[in-house]
Chains A and B, each alone.
Chain A
Amino acid sequence: MHPTLRNAFPYVALVVLMSALVWAVSFGTLPPADFSFHNGDEIKTVDPSKATGQPEHRVMTSLFEGLYREWPLGYELDEEGNVLNAPEPDENGNYPLDAAPGVAESVDISEDGRVYTFHIREAAKWSDGSKFTADDFVWSWRRTLHPETASQYAYQLWYLKGAKKYTTSTVTLGGLIEVELSDRLRVGQLFPRGTIRRGKLLGIARPPEPQHAPDASDEDKAEAESEWQERSVYLVEENSKVVAFSKGESTSGWSNFKVDWLAGSARDLPSEVVNCLHVLPDFEATVGVKAPDDKTLVVTLQNRTPFFLHLTTFYPLFPMNRKCIETHGTPAWTKPENIVSNGTYNLEFRRFRDRLRLVKNPLHWSHKQVKLETVDVFGFKSETTALNMYLTGQLDWITDAPSTVIPQLMARKERDYVPTPLLIIYFYRINVTRAPCDDIHVRRALNMAIDKQLICDKVTQAGQQPARSLVPPGLPGYRSPLCEPFDPVAAREELKKSKYANLPGGIPKVEILYNTNENHRAIAEVIQQQWKNNLGIDAELKNSEWTTYLSSIHSQEYSIARAGWVPDYPDANTFIDMWVTGGENNETGWGNPDYDAFVKKAAEEPGLDRRLRWMEQAEEILMAELPIIPIYYYVSKGMVSPRVKGFFPNVQDQHPLYWMRIED
C-alpha cells in the first residue's frame, strides 16, 4: 500500500470520528416542549384512512377533529379556557365521557335514529386557513371507503347505508355505478381521480368460467378466478347510450361472452370497450352521506346505531384535506411540511423512533381553550425506559407503567399512579373443536378452577377486578350475566361429568398460547398450576411473538389462547357481536343459533332499552357455554405528573391533549 495513504489514515479516522460526533449532538439543539409523553409505540402513520391502534389514536385526536369529540361530562370552560365547572369522578375514580360537538356545532337525529343531520361550525377551518365545508367529510369518507385506499378500518364506516358495497365494489344490475377511466394525472395516486363516468348498469358480460385442472392449488384457482373477474365487461347506460367498460387488459372476443342483462333492457352491444380502473357503485347514490350545502352534512345509517356519535370521534371518520392530498399525493401529504389538518394541534416535525412534535393550531375554533403550546410525543418501545425518563422528569405522562413495580408505584407519596377500571377484558379464548375443550363440562370446570381473585391480587396487582362476564362493568344500563365463581370442589364435580373423565390416557393435555410478554407468561404459569392442582389437567405453555400468535389464532391452530378486547366505541355490542357463528373475530369454532338470533334482534331493535336486554340474553348463553373464559377487567396503567390537570381518567382511557393544562 502506498505510504501516503498509510500516513493519511489517522487523519481520515479523526475526520470520520468528528463528523459522527457533530451528527450525534446535532439533535440536541431542540427547545424543550411544554409537555412530553410516552406514547407506547411509534405511530405508524398520521393518515386517518390508514391508521390503526392506540398510539395513533392519541396523536390523531390532536391533529384532526371529527364531527364530535370526546369530552368529560360536565366539564365546562369559558371562551378563554378558564374552568367554569369541573366534574367529580365516580367511585372508581373515573369520569363519564360524552360526545361533545367538534367540527359540527350540533346534530339533529331523526325519530328512527337512522338519519343524522350535522351542522358544521362556522368557525371551523383547515390549518392552512381555508374554509371547512361539509363536502370535506363526503370526500374524506369516500377516500376511506374506496377499495384502492385499502383502509383497514374502512368497516368503521360500514354503519352508513351502502358503505360496505362501495368498499367491496359490489355492483348490481340496474344500479347506478361510477366508472373511473385509466387517465389519471399521476399513476399510482388515487386522487385526483381519472375521468369519472356514471350510468346505470345494464349488463355484465363474463368470459367462460375458468376450468381448473384437478391438481390446481387453491392459490392458482383463486388467481384464475380473479383474472376471470377482471376480464368482465360492464355494459352501462350513459346518456341513453350503452357503453362497455372493462378493467381487464385483454377483452378480445368479448362479444362472445355470456351476458347477464337487466331484465327488459336493450340488448345491443357497443363495438368497442373502454378501459377503466374501477367499477364501483355510484357513491352519491349508494352511500348514505350527503352535503346539501356547505354547512350541513346528512348521514343515513343502515340500522339504528346508538353509538354513532361516539364513532364520529374515532379517527377513521376524521376529515382530510382534499387539496393537500391531491397536490402532494399519498404518502407525501403526511410529511410535516405538507400536511393540512383541522385539529387542535399541528404537526411540527416527526423524527422516526424518537419523537413527534405538536404545536398548538392557532386557527382552531377553540384555540384559546387549548393550554399546552408544544407537546412532544415519544415513540420508543420500552416501558422501563419510559419510567426512568418519567422519574428523571424527562416525561410528564407515561401510558404504560411496567408491571413489575406496581405495588411500589401505588405506594408513591406523589399519588401519580392511580389505576382506574377500563372497558377492556382479558380472557382466554378456547378452541371448542379440540379435545378436551369440545366438552362443555371441561370448559366449565376449567373456568371454576381458576382463582381469578388471586391472580388480580398477587399477579396483576394494580387493582384489576376478576371477571365473570365478557362485557366489563361501566356501560350505563347494561347488566352482565355472570359465569360461575372460583370453586375447586364444584370444578372437580363438573369435570367428572365430562366424557373424558375416565378415558384411558386420562384427560388430554391442553396448551395455553400467549404472545411474548412477561405478564401473560406469569398469568399462564399461575393458571397452569391451578388447573394441575385443582383438576389434574396438564397445561403446556407456548409463547409466540405477536404475529405468529395472531396467525395461530386466525387459523385456529391453538387449544387455549390468551386474548384481550378493546372496544372501538363504548357499547356492549362491540363485545357481543364478535361471537356470532363464523364471525370474523370469533375464532373459537363456537356457534349457537340462539345466540346469533339474539344478536340479530339487538341490531335491528329500535328500542334502546330492549336492545340492551337482547344483548344481555346473548351474553347469558355465552357465559353458560364458555367458549371463552373471562379472567379480569383491565385497569389503566398510566402515570401522570401531578402538575398536569385536566387528565380525567375514564373507562376508555382517552386523554386528548386539548383537555389538559399544566398548573405548577
Chain B
Amino acid sequence: MVESQDAKQPDASELERYAALLDEARRIKGTSLWQDAWRRLKRNRLAMISLWCLVAVAMLAAFAPLLPLQSPLDKDLKDRKNLAPGFRGQRYWVKLGERSDLRFASDSLTAELAKFDDEVAELKTKVRAASGTDREQLLGELDGKIHNSDPLEKLWHNPGSIVRQLLRLRIMLFGDWCLPSLFGTDDLGRDVLSRVFWGARVSLIVGIVATLVSLLIGVTYGAVSGYLGGWIDSVMMRIVDILYSIPFIFIVIFIITILSAEETKAKMDALGINQLTVFYVLIGAIYWLTMARVVRGQVISLKTELFIDAAHVVGASRARIVFQHLIPNVMSVVIVYLTLTIPAVMRFEAFLSFLGVGVQAPDVSWGLLVDEGVKAVTPIKIYWWLIAFSGGALAATLFSLNFLGDGLRDALDPRMKNR
C-alpha cells in the first residue's frame, strides 16, 4: 500500500532521491554482453595469446611489402637452388638487384631505380620541349620505358599500385638490404621466408573474404528463415538440404574453368574483377550452409523471447526486427562459428591447390606452398624447409583460430557468466 502511494504522489525530496539513484545507475552502466565477454576472454590466457598471434600475422601479412624481405618471385637458379635454412655464407645474404642476369646498374636495385627515375624525368622534360611528330615519338618511348623497363617490375611481377608505393617506401627505408634466406630457398632459388610472408596475404584474404561472404549469406538466410517460420522456413531449409548434398568440388572445378575461359576473363577484367576475387566469393558461397542452419536454430529459440514481443508492440517492422534485434543477438554463435569456417576455407584453398585449380602462379598462397612442399618430401630426399615453414605458418594460424574460437565460445556463453 505504502509503496503504491509513494508511486502515486512522489514529493520533491523523493524525486530528488530517484534522480540521484538514476544518476548513479547511469554512472555505473551495466556491463553489456560484449564488455562482459571481453572481460572473460581477457582472463583466458590461451585465447589471448591466439588473438595477439592472429593480429600479428595479419599485420605482418598486410605490410609484407614494407619488410626488408627478398623478392618472393625472383628466381636465382644459378647458385641459390634448394638452400637449406641458414644465414652464414655469402649465398644467404642477398642484396636486391645483385643477380647478374638482371643487369642492373652497379648491381643494385637502388642504383637502377635512381637511373630509371632520372631517365624517365629526362624523357619527360624532352617531351615537354618537343612538338609534332617528335613529340609523338618521344611519348611512345616514354610509355615503353615506363611499361617495359621499370626495375620494380623485374623483381616483383606486376605489383598493384598500393603495393608499389609500399615497395618504394621499403626501398627508401632499407635500400638494397634484406634479410638472409633464414627459411632456405626452393627449387627455383626463391626465398622461402618472403614467400611465406607474401603467401600469408593471399591465404588470409581468401579466408577472411570467403568467410565474410558466407557470413552475409548465411546469417541473412538463416535469420529470415527462422523468423518467418512456417512453410517458408521448411522450403528454405529443404533448399539448404539439397545444396548440402551437392558435391561442391565438382561444381567448383567447373565454375573456375568456365570463369577462366578467355572470353569470360576478358569481360571480368573489363569490370575490374580478377580471378582471385571470384575465387573468394565462390568459396564463401559454399560455406554459408552450416551458418544458415546454426543461425536459424538460434533465431527460432530467440523469437519467443520477451524483447522481440516488445519490439512488435512498439510497431517495429519485420525487417527491423530481424536485422536490428535478432541478428545482433545471434552474433555470439556466429563469431564462434566464424573461427571454425576460416580454417575450413583455408584448408579448402589448399585442397584446390592440390588439384591444380587454386591460386595461379606467380601468386603464392600457403596452400600452394604446402602443396609444393609436400611434393618435395620423398623417401629419397626431404627438403623439410619447404613444408615446415609454410605448413607451420598455416597450422599456427589455424591453431590460433581454434583456440580463439574456444575462448570466445566460453566467453560468450551466458552460463559461464559467474565462473
25 A-B pairs within 8 Å (CB atoms) are namely: A387-B378, A387-B380, A402-B378, A408-B381, A409-B380, A458-B78, A502-B144, A503-B144, A505-B147, A506-B146, A507-B147, A507-B148, A516-B356, A517-B356, A518-B372, A522-B188, A525-B188, A526-B77, A526-B188, A529-B75, A533-B102, A535-B148, A542-B260, A544-B257, A545-B356
Residues of A within 8 A of B143 (CB): 503-506
Q: Which of A517, A532, A558 contacts B157 (CB 8 A)?
A: A532
User: How far is A312 from B361 in the complex, measured between Cα atoms in Å?
Assistant: 44
User: How far is A529 from B75 in the complex, measured between Cα atoms in Å?
Assistant: 8
- A interface residues, how many (CB within 8 angstroms): 49
CB distance from A508 to the nearest CB of B (A): 9
Q: For chain A, residues 76 to 130, give those with C-beta under 8 angstroms from any C-beta of chain B.
A: none
A541 pairs with B378, CB closer than 8 A: no
A552 pairs with B357, CB closer than 8 A: no
User: How far is A534 from B101 in the complex, measured between Cα atoms in Å?
Assistant: 8
Residues of A within 8 A of B187 (CB): 404, 522
Residues of B within 8 A of A387 (CB): 378-380
Q: For chain A, residues 547 to 565, give those with C-beta under 8 angstroms from any C-beta of chain B.
A: 548, 552, 557-558
The residue of chain A having its C-beta at the shortest distance from the C-beta of B383 within the complex is: A404
A542 pairs with B157, CB closer than 8 A: no
B144 pairs with A404, CB closer than 8 A: no
B103 interface residue, CB < 8 Å from A? Answer: yes
The residue of chain B having its C-beta at the shortest distance from the C-beta of A551 within the complex is: B261
Q: A525-B188, A526-B188, A543-B361 are in contact. Are A502 and B77 (CB under 8 A)?
A: no
User: How far is A541 from B157 in the complex, measured between Cα atoms in Å?
Assistant: 11
User: How far is A521 from B361 in the complex, measured between Cα atoms in Å?
Assistant: 8
A39 interface residue, CB < 8 Å from B? Answer: no
**The 5 nearest A-B residue pairs measured at CB:** A506-B147, A536-B148, A516-B356, A502-B140, A458-B77
Residues of B within 8 A of A516 (CB): 356-357
A532 pairs with B153, CB closer than 8 A: yes
CB distance from B120 to the nearest CB of A (A): 13
Q: A459-B77, A503-B144 are in contact. Are A533 and B380 (CB under 8 A)?
A: no
Instruction: Bits for B351-377, please: 1 = Cβ < 8 Å to A, else 0.
Output: 000001100111000000000100110
User: How far is A603 from B412 in the complex, measured between Cα atoms in Å?
Assistant: 82
A507 pairs with B78, CB closer than 8 A: no
A524 interface residue, CB < 8 Å from B? Answer: yes
A454 interface residue, CB < 8 Å from B? Answer: yes
What residues of chain A have their CB less than 8 Å away from a CB belonging to chain B?
384, 387-388, 391, 402, 404-405, 408-409, 412, 451, 454, 458-459, 488, 501-507, 516-518, 521-522, 524-526, 528-530, 532-538, 541-545, 548, 552, 557-558
Instruction: Bits for B251-268, please: 1 = Cβ < 8 Å to A, else 0.
Output: 001000100111100000
CB distance from B277 to the nearest CB of A (A): 16
CB distance from A15 to the nearest CB of B (A): 27
The residue of chain B having its C-beta at the shortest distance from the C-beta of A513 within the complex is: B262
Residues of A within 8 A of B381 (CB): 405, 408
Residues of A within 8 A of B75 (CB): 525-526, 529
A405 pairs with B357, CB closer than 8 A: no
B153 pairs with A538, CB closer than 8 A: yes
**Extra contacts besides A529-B73, A541-B360 (7): CB < 8 Å:** A451-B101, A459-B188, A502-B144, A524-B361, A526-B75, A533-B154, A548-B260
User: How far is A384 from B371 in the complex, measured between Cα atoms in Å?
Assistant: 13
- B interface residues, how many (CB within 8 angstroms): 44
Residues of B within 8 A of A458 (CB): 77-78, 81
Q: Which of A404, A488, A533 contacts B376 (CB 8 A)?
A: A404
B309 interface residue, CB < 8 Å from A? Answer: no
The residue of chain B having its C-beta at the shortest distance from the C-beta of A535 within the complex is: B148
User: How far is A558 from B262 in the complex, measured between Cα atoms in Å?
Assistant: 8
The residue of chain B having its C-beta at the shortest distance from the C-beta of A517 within the complex is: B356
B74 interface residue, CB < 8 Å from A? Answer: yes
Q: A402-B375, A404-B378, A552-B262 are in contact. Are A454 and B77 (CB under 8 A)?
A: yes
CB distance from B274 to the nearest CB of A (A): 11
B356 pairs with A506, CB closer than 8 A: no
User: How far is A26 from B343 in the complex, measured between Cα atoms in Å?
Assistant: 39
CB distance from A518 to the nearest CB of B (A): 7
Q: Which of B188, B261, B360 contacts A548 (CB 8 A)?
A: B261
User: How far is A391 from B379 in the complex, measured between Cα atoms in Å?
Assistant: 8
User: How far is A507 from B260 in the complex, measured between Cα atoms in Å?
Assistant: 24
Residues of A within 8 A of B324 (CB): none
User: How far is A541 from B260 in the complex, measured between Cα atoms in Å?
Assistant: 12
Residues of B within 8 A of A451 (CB): 101
B149 interface residue, CB < 8 Å from A? Answer: yes
User: How far is A524 from B74 in the complex, measured between Cα atoms in Å?
Assistant: 14
A533 pairs with B153, CB closer than 8 A: no
B131 interface residue, CB < 8 Å from A? Answer: no
Instruction: Bits for B127-167, please: 1 = Cβ < 8 Å to A, else 0.
Output: 00000000001011101111111000110011000000000
Most buried by B among A384, A404, A501, A541: A404
B378 pairs with A525, CB closer than 8 A: no
CB distance from B280 to the nearest CB of A (A): 19
The residue of chain B having its C-beta at the shortest distance from the C-beta of A455 within the complex is: B77
Residues of B within 8 A of A538 (CB): 147-148, 153, 157-158
A405 pairs with B380, CB closer than 8 A: yes
A404 pairs with B375, CB closer than 8 A: yes
CB distance from B287 to the nearest CB of A (A): 24
Residues of B within 8 A of A536 (CB): 147-149
User: How far is A451 from B77 in the complex, measured between Cα atoms in Å?
Assistant: 11
Residues of B within 8 A of A488 (CB): 103
The residue of chain B having its C-beta at the shortest distance from the C-beta of A412 within the complex is: B380
Residues of B within 8 A of A525 (CB): 75, 188, 361-362
CB distance from A493 to the nearest CB of B (A): 15
B257 pairs with A541, CB closer than 8 A: no
User: How far is A525 from B71 in the complex, measured between Cα atoms in Å?
Assistant: 14
B146 pairs with A529, CB closer than 8 A: no
User: How far is A248 from B351 in the complex, measured between Cα atoms in Å?
Assistant: 52
B262 pairs with A543, CB closer than 8 A: no
CB distance from B259 to the nearest CB of A (A): 11
The residue of chain A having its C-beta at the shortest distance from the C-beta of B148 within the complex is: A536
Residues of B within 8 A of A518 (CB): 372, 375
User: How far is A405 from B376 in the complex, measured between Cα atoms in Å?
Assistant: 8
Residues of B within 8 A of A532 (CB): 153-154, 157
User: How far is A268 from B357 in the complex, measured between Cα atoms in Å?
Assistant: 65
User: How far is A533 from B155 in the complex, measured between Cα atoms in Å?
Assistant: 9
User: How far is A518 from B157 in the complex, measured between Cα atoms in Å?
Assistant: 19
The residue of chain B having its C-beta at the shortest distance from the C-beta of A552 within the complex is: B262
Residues of A within 8 A of B78 (CB): 454, 458
CB distance from A404 to the nearest CB of B (A): 5
Q: A458-B81, A528-B362, A548-B261 are in contact. Are A503 and B140 (CB under 8 A)?
A: yes
Q: A404-B187, A543-B356 are in contact. Are A533 and B378 (CB under 8 A)?
A: no
Residues of A within 8 A of B260 (CB): 542, 544, 548
User: How far is A504 from B261 in the complex, measured between Cα atoms in Å?
Assistant: 28
Q: A525-B362, A548-B261 are in contact. Are A405 and B137 (CB under 8 A)?
A: no
User: How far is A526 from B361 in the complex, measured between Cα atoms in Å?
Assistant: 11
